[in-house]
Chains A and B, each alone.
Chain A
Amino acid sequence: MSAEPGRAASEPGPATAGASVPAIRLEDVRFAFTVDGRRTDVIGGLDLEIAPRSIVALVGPNGCGKSTLLRVIAGLLPARTGSVEVEGRPVAGPDSRVGLVFQEPRLLPWRTAFANVSFPLEVAGRDRAARERRVTDLLGLVGLRDWSRARPAELSGGMRQRVAIARALALEPAVLLLDEPFSALDALTRERFNVELLRLWDRIGATIVLVTHSIAEAVFLADRVIVLSPRPAQLVADVTVDLPRPRRPGDLDAAAVTRTAAEIRAHLEGATDDAFSVATGDVPAHSQPEQAIR
């Protein structure tokens, strides 16, 4: 379709070969930043292949470089060494094949919800009719069709993040990266959003990589949970979540969830001293650690 060059651009090349080409491929990716001549290694040699249409959760201690890794995959930060490929082709600079949702919604406050979702389409030079069609679809997808004329200040935190997700999907990325997207929401809203995210994923068919501090969230959403070490981030464990889809909060096999969560927790604890705070990062300090699992 001519109205969707983002998709069309990803068609040529080996991408059409299907599942054999990973959606994301990292090969010995290293990243460091330099302040006043002193180098700090943030990512230290990471190899990773992520299958198309899968959901992968990244967990790890605070400041271990998870957000940095997402930025490297999105092309916002250049890898010092190694290669980043999306659908078999290298990422060099910001890339329309990758949609990034930040921790905060980062909406333009002077634009309406509609115009915010339209932003990437305007930047890409789509004509008005194509923009209107696409934005209307996207706002429907995230359940905000009735709020298209509202400005960010008039929306709740959850609505704003939904607008941000719709914006990230505007150019039909093959890969959606989410950087703790629901961390600012209350627990109940967050659970509902996770269910919505799965429904959304089912409809858009993109590969999703999300950073989270909640093991429960990681197990509920992901096919694979990647556990990273403290800085410089390295792979500690790659845990497969063997739970059937579609998943709903109520009808998951509790034993399987507990087993998987415990496995992830063990890896995290092996990787870092402050694993406890990481594993329970989303529950109040006085709660029992067991509650963090469900």
Chain B
Amino acid sequence: MTSSRWSVSAIHRDRVIPPLLAFVAFIAVWQLVVIVGSYPAYILPGPRAVAERFVVAWTDGTMAPHVATTLSEIGFGFVGGALAGMLTGYVLARSRLANRVLSPYLVAAQAVPILALAPLIALWFGSGLFAHSVIVALIDFFPVAVSTMVAIRGVDRRLLEMARSYRVTRGQRLRMVEIPAALPGILGGLRIGITLAVVGAIVAEWTGGETGLGVLINLARGSLFDIPLMFAALLTIAIIGVALYSLVLLVERRYAIPPP
């Protein structure tokens, strides 16, 4: 809200320059470590080598298909997992019966690491887009479900009573009171979910597949033995993670007005 009133120069001063300085410092330290340790490029390539490989991989068309695959997996998986998570979270918050019956399984499922489940998913669904999206959805489901449940339970009962006095239907209550009131909490869950989605996609691709950034990392480390390419793929993953996270943050800033 207030950010729109900030002048452009203020945005530059407060929000661009410090992160920029931190980035420059990071590159400098990296370069220093490479020089001081005189590591060969197949152990730790310097920032320059990685940047060059990054540009080449993008311009010669090596990177794009892998990025497209990973992004699709994240997209389908995140949307599917988040929708299922929000629905489950709502039901858990509003139905005591559902809570009693479902929550033990939910917690048990969460206690099993996704790395252990990935081979099973591969066995059942293969190693295509669908199977990988399922893994992304699974890893997203729990944080979104739990944060939705907590947020819906936390909706002020007095507001619900106020709404009831105007004879809201269930749909109106959900749309006009519960969702807006729970939105900050739900978006917090989505914020965790989106970074986990990136992790899920890479883990899924390690278990097999034709394309994807996880596959590319495996190839670069293995048969290609192109360590700068591996770093370029890592850089791409990091950029995707930051970009998606910022996107959720942007939605959060736009729609979630904190309570007074």
Distance between Cα atoms of A102 and B172 in the complex (Å): 21
Distance between Cα atoms of A76 and B160 in the complex (Å): 11
A171-186 near B? 1/0 per residue, CB < 8 Å = 1000000000000000
B111 within 8 A of A: no
Q: Is B165 touching A100 in the complex (CB atoms < 8 A)?
A: yes
Q: Is B176 touching A151 in the complex (CB atoms < 8 A)?
A: no
A44 within 8 A of B: no
Distance between Cα atoms of A124 and B176 in the complex (Å): 13
Given contacts A76-B161, A109-B260, A153-B260, contact A120 B180 (CB under 8 A): no
B167 within 8 A of A: yes
Q: Is A106 touching B257 in the complex (CB atoms < 8 A)?
A: no
Distance between Cα atoms of A86 and B191 in the complex (Å): 50
Q: Is A123 touching B166 in the complex (CB atoms < 8 A)?
A: yes
Residue tally, chain A, CB below 8 Å to B: 22
Q: Is B158 touching A76 in the complex (CB atoms < 8 A)?
A: no
Q: Is B257 touching A124 in the complex (CB atoms < 8 A)?
A: no
B42-59 near A? 1/0 per residue, CB < 8 Å = 000000000000000000
Distance between Cα atoms of A106 and B257 in the complex (Å): 16
CB closest residue in chain B, given A115: B176
Given contacts A108-B180, A110-B257, contact A102 B166 (CB under 8 A): no
CB closest residue in chain B, given A121: B166
Q: For residue B180, which residues in chain A have a CB less than 8 angstroms away from its CB? A: 108, 110
Given contacts A102-B158, A104-B158, A108-B159, contact A152 B260 (CB under 8 A): yes
Distance between Cα atoms of A245 and B159 in the complex (Å): 36
Q: Is A76 touching B164 in the complex (CB atoms < 8 A)?
A: yes
Distance between Cα atoms of A76 and B166 in the complex (Å): 10
Residue tally, chain B, CB below 8 Å to A: 18
Please report which residues of chain A, range 140-183, place their CB below 8 angstroms from some CB of chain B when the two chains form the complex. Answer: 151-153, 171
B167-182 near A? 1/0 per residue, CB < 8 Å = 1100010001100110
B259 within 8 A of A: yes
Q: For residue B257, which residues in chain A have a CB less than 8 angstroms away from its CB? A: 109-110, 151
A96 within 8 A of B: yes
Q: Is A106 touching B159 in the complex (CB atoms < 8 A)?
A: yes
Given contacts A93-B167, A96-B167, A109-B259, contact A123 B176 (CB under 8 A): yes
Given contacts A104-B158, A109-B259, A152-B260, contact A119 B176 (CB under 8 A): yes
A202 within 8 A of B: no
B116 within 8 A of A: no
Q: Is A122 touching B260 in the complex (CB atoms < 8 A)?
A: no
Q: For residue A108, which residues in chain B have a CB less than 8 angstroms away from its CB? A: 159, 176-177, 180-181
Q: For residue A110, which residues in chain B have a CB less than 8 angstroms away from its CB? A: 180-181, 257
B162 within 8 A of A: yes
B193 vs chain A, min Cβ distance (A)? 22
Q: For residue B159, which residues in chain A have a CB less than 8 angstroms away from its CB? A: 106, 108
- Choose among A96, A106, A109 the residue that contacts B162 (Cβ–Cβ < 8 A): A106
- Choose among A76, A109, A122, A151 the residue that contacts B165 (Cβ–Cβ < 8 A): A76
Question: Top 5 nearest A-B pairs by Cβ distance?
Answer: A153-B260, A106-B162, A110-B257, A120-B166, A94-B167
Can you report 5 residue pairs joining A to B where beta carbons are below 8 Å apart? Answer: A76-B165, A106-B158, A106-B161, A108-B159, A120-B166
